[in-house]
Chain A
Amino acid sequence: MFGNLSDRLVETFKNLRSKGKLSAADIDATLREIRRALLEADVALEVVKSFIAAVRERALGDEVSKALNPAQQVVQIVQEELVTILGGEQRRVSFAKNPPTVIMLAGLQGSGKTTLAGKLAKWLKDQGQTPILVACDLQRPNAVNQLQVIGERVGVPVFAPEEGNGKGNPVSVAKDAIKHAKQKQFSVVIVDTAGRLGIDEELMKQANDIRKATDPDEVLFVIDSMIGQDAVNVAKAFEDGVGITGVVLTKLDGDARGGAALSVAQVTGKPILFASTGEGMDAFEPFYPDRMASRILDMGDILTLIEQAQKSFDEDEAREMAEKMAKDAFTLEDFLDQMQQLRKMGSIKNMLAMMPGANKLKSQLENIDEKEIDHTEAIIRSMTPKERKDPKILNGSRRLRIAKGSGMTVTDVNGLVNRFEQAAKMMKTMARGGNPGIPGMPAGLPPMPRPQVKKDKGKKGSKSGNPAKRAAEAAGIELPRTDKGGSAFGIGG
């Protein structure tokens, strides 16, 4: 089908290479791709529209045109805005001053409420609370039973006076549960309710009655991360019908991009408190807005990478370098400089790990030997300035001296010189022929090490200075592309 957002943005960026500044049209082209990515991630259309409008406004402002790399800056604005919406009001569960704290769960059928109740109970128990689970789903066959089994698994008592399966009144069960909890001094009451549709007025009223009867400190809206455009309707219905205080996102261990998170957060203005990430009772964690933003965009931690790249490259330096390459004045000294700049960005291994699709590269990443870069550095540092400027003067005795000085062998020295000459030649060609790079980024950086070709890494073949492009290359060339859409939760998830 289609590649991921990074691939498509690379396409968009290609057309921007010779411009130093983004026009409104350029920004719109970028935003079109982002709009599509958001829709494919199931962010609700109305949310996408208002979101894109907000980003556009910011992107047209000064902050972009002054930036080192405007195109990527747009993406960064997108990320920032996403995080703001997703985590603007990040907070923890609020506990009652006078226990018990009451937490009520509500949501559609099959969103994962009962399983979540168990996880939440376990999490609270591990924190020293004494929770009790309340079986108010008297609708679904054996939901009560399921909660009892789960309660047993996590070692938390279950209040279940009614057997369910259509019998019993959930409102009175909820009421009795609070009494019971007070008597027996439980510190937290978790009320599991039946799944209901937002448009089912009768059941929504029932949920509201449970709320009134229990006066909960938290009403958590439980929503499946695979949900599509309907997320806005459902969220609105629960917000209006029951009134929610927070959101829990379930099934995040799947490969859905989870755009619903954005829809719900935007529509309800309520914080997402937890993410449920598996069927095990421990698969439960606080919600991380930044990871979710990257997941929705399907871009790995590329934005962190962009940030680091921006910090470590000086624009003037970069321009100078590009000119040198074009004039064939690129020396081993420059080569070393560039390598050191690259080093400023952090370990190469870590950098690769931040790229989209890198999860799949993990095993290959293990093969990268950071030491080889140290070796190269040692060899160049053992040369005289004259030798670094003009490697042609390197005769046998000079090479032997360099090898001894750097603790390497003459073969290593020869290898480096050969590779440098090839690389310089290639860079010259590319610099003249117009390297598809982003303005402001040096066109011929020492390339990223290619995990498979151990010998050549770091020295041969130019790669784009654009991290997004490099990432795409890494993901696209060396991996079979999947269109399943979506890495796991952030990187390494």
Chain B
Amino acid sequence: MAGLMFWRKKDKNVQAPEEIQVEQVIEEQVQEVVETVTESPVIEEVAEQVVEVEIPQVELEPIELPKRSLTKGIKSLFSRIKFDVENLEELVDVLIQADFGVDAAEAIVQEVKNRAKKSGAKTEHELRLILTDLLTEKFGRDDRALKLDNGVQPYVILVVGVNGAGKTTTIGKLANWLTQGGAKVTLGAADTFRAAAVDQLATWATRSNSEIVKPTIEGQDPAAVAFESVERAIANQSDVLIIDTAGRLQNKQGLMDELGKIRRVIEKNLAISEVLLVLDATTGQNAMAQAKAFTEVANVTGIVLTKLDGTAKGGIVYAIQEQLDIPVKLVGIGEGIDDFGFFDASEFAIGLVGES
């Protein structure tokens, strides 16, 4: 299944003892340098050294991760209307109520009409099937897996989004899922703005058995925290580094610039594997503006659709995927540590349309 496994280096314990020695030496060097020098050029040098040592170890083994279903989250919207060739207009309304937006809703229904005409579909069952297939088709794509498989660790996941979308909770769940799979995870607490955000992430770090890099002083520049997180993740040989950022509304230019800076600082030493935009499924049409703005500054690679366990459907991701070509990768379906899963197009479509 898409995204259900990722590749990591073979267990370090079974590697040759000499190699471990080398790593230890480097580690000590890093510790030293990190402690005494904060100038970036020197640290960059160190980072390069470490990466140099790690790159040759490309012997990878797949980590199997548990598959999680998201069906419990989505309740069908269509159960209360009658599917009928004559009143397909009602379908537009239903899709609008799922936050697909007027244009997308109209386009989808037009396509359903066309297909129904072609195939001569008339019964409710046939029409439901057409819609389910159409949505599965449109949502279905093969780039839903987290791109954690090029063998250059640590893989960096940058998590961005507006206030209250569920970034920190998502990170906690994701970290736990990765550590359960045997990965070593470091969390970077670069949300230095919101009161107690660092503590909240620390709680998740404990729960998920991950390491955490906290700001050294209150209200520290988040880019500095991100930088230190990268250093630490390299030094402690993490498989994955997940960086939390403060919630920011996409029309706040200053904050968006800050995010750009965080991204650049990380990229000085490591490539970013995934930039995940966390979208609250209850969000309406503004989610499009969010996706556009965050993609512009942070080059979003995937969407995490949270709070799908409520009554909201998050239909706006359809338009976002159509217009911006960004796949939904993960979904959040509750506050529990296991309440998330990979987005599955057909599951989502069936969930929306209902069993026919």
Q: Which residues of chain A have a CB within 8 Å of any CB of chain B? A: 2, 36, 39-42, 44-45, 108-112, 114, 139-143, 145-146, 148-150, 153, 165, 197-199, 224, 226-231, 233-234, 237, 251, 253-257, 259-260, 279, 484-485, 488
Contact = CB atoms under 8 A, between A and B. Distances in A.
A255 B93 CA distance: 25
Given A145-B199, A153-B195, A251-B162, A36 B285 contact: no
Contact of B162 (A44, A149, A229, A254): A254
B312 interface: yes
Nearest to B164: A110
B282 A230 contact: yes
Contacts of A228: 99, 282-285, 287, 312, 316
B195 A230 contact: no
Interface string B256-299: 00000000000000000000000010111111010011000000
Contact of A149 (B101, B195, B250, B310): B195
B82 interface: no
Contacts of A251: 162-164, 249
B196 A229 contact: no
A109 B284 contact: no
User: Chain B interface secondary structure, helix, strand, loop or mixed?
Assistant: loop
B289 A484 contact: yes
Given A110-B166, A197-B309, 19 more contacts: A36-B102, A39-B102, A42-B99, A141-B199, A141-B204, A165-B203, A198-B310, A226-B162, A227-B284, A229-B99, A229-B284, A230-B310, A230-B311, A234-B282, A253-B249, A255-B251, A257-B285, A279-B194, A485-B286
A114 B203 CA distance: 18
Interface of B: 93, 96-99, 101-103, 162-166, 168, 172, 193-197, 199-200, 202-204, 249-252, 280, 282-287, 289, 292-293, 307, 309-313, 316, 335
Contacts of A140: 200, 335
B43 to A, nearest CB: 30
B173 to A, nearest CB: 12
User: Chain A interface secondary structure, helix, strand, loop or mixed?
Assistant: loop
B244 to A, nearest CB: 13
Contact of A109 (B200, B204, B251, B307): B307
B284 A260 contact: yes
B251 A229 contact: no
A102 B268 CA distance: 52
A254 B286 contact: yes
Given A39-B102, A140-B200, A146-B200, A197 B286 contact: no
B97 A227 contact: no
A52 to B, nearest CB: 13
B93 to A, nearest CB: 6
A256 B101 CA distance: 14
A198 B193 contact: no
B251 A141 contact: no
Contact of A40 (B93, B102, B196): B102
Contacts of B204: 141
B164 A112 contact: yes
Contacts of A230: 99, 282, 310-313
B311 A142 contact: no
Contacts of B197: 146
A255 B289 CA distance: 8
**Top 10 A-B residue pairs of the complex, sorted by shortest distance between their CB atoms:** A228-B284, A110-B164, A42-B284, A146-B196, A149-B195, A256-B286, A230-B312, A141-B203, A142-B200, A254-B249
24 contacts: A42-B285, A108-B307, A109-B164, A109-B307, A110-B165, A112-B163, A139-B335, A141-B199, A153-B195, A198-B311, A199-B310, A224-B282, A226-B162, A226-B283, A227-B283, A228-B283, A228-B285, A228-B316, A231-B284, A254-B251, A257-B286, A279-B163, A484-B289, A485-B289
A229 B97 contact: yes
Contact of B164 (A142, A199, A224): A224
A224 B193 CA distance: 19
Nearest to A482: B289
Nearest to B166: A110
B209 to A, nearest CB: 15
A464 to B, nearest CB: 28
Contacts of A41: 285
B268 to A, nearest CB: 28
A40 B99 CA distance: 10
B159 to A, nearest CB: 14
Nearest to B255: A279
Contacts of A484: 251, 289, 292-293
A41 B196 CA distance: 33
A259 B284 contact: yes
Contacts of B103: 2
Nearest to B193: A279
Contacts of A149: 195-196
Contacts of A109: 164, 166, 307, 335
Contacts of A256: 284-286, 289
Contact of B285 (A197, A485, A488): A485
Contacts of B93: 45
Contacts of B101: 39-40
A389 to B, nearest CB: 54
B321 to A, nearest CB: 15
A231 B200 CA distance: 27
A228 B194 CA distance: 25
B284 to A, nearest CB: 3
B350 to A, nearest CB: 20
Contacts of B195: 114, 145-146, 149-150, 153
A140 B199 CA distance: 11
B250 A254 contact: yes
Contacts of B166: 109-110
Nearest to A164: B203
A485 B307 CA distance: 25
Contact of A142 (B199, B283, B293, B310): B199
Contacts of B196: 142-143, 145-146, 148-149
B93, B162, B195: residue with the most chain A Cβ atoms closer than 10 Å: B195
B172, B252, B292, B293: residue with the most chain A Cβ atoms closer than 10 Å: B252
B99 A142 contact: no
Contacts of A150: 195
A41, A42, A229, A257: residue with the most chain B Cβ atoms closer than 10 Å: A229
B10 to A, nearest CB: 34
Contacts of B96: 39, 45, 229
Contacts of A110: 163-166, 280, 307
Contacts of A45: 93, 96-97
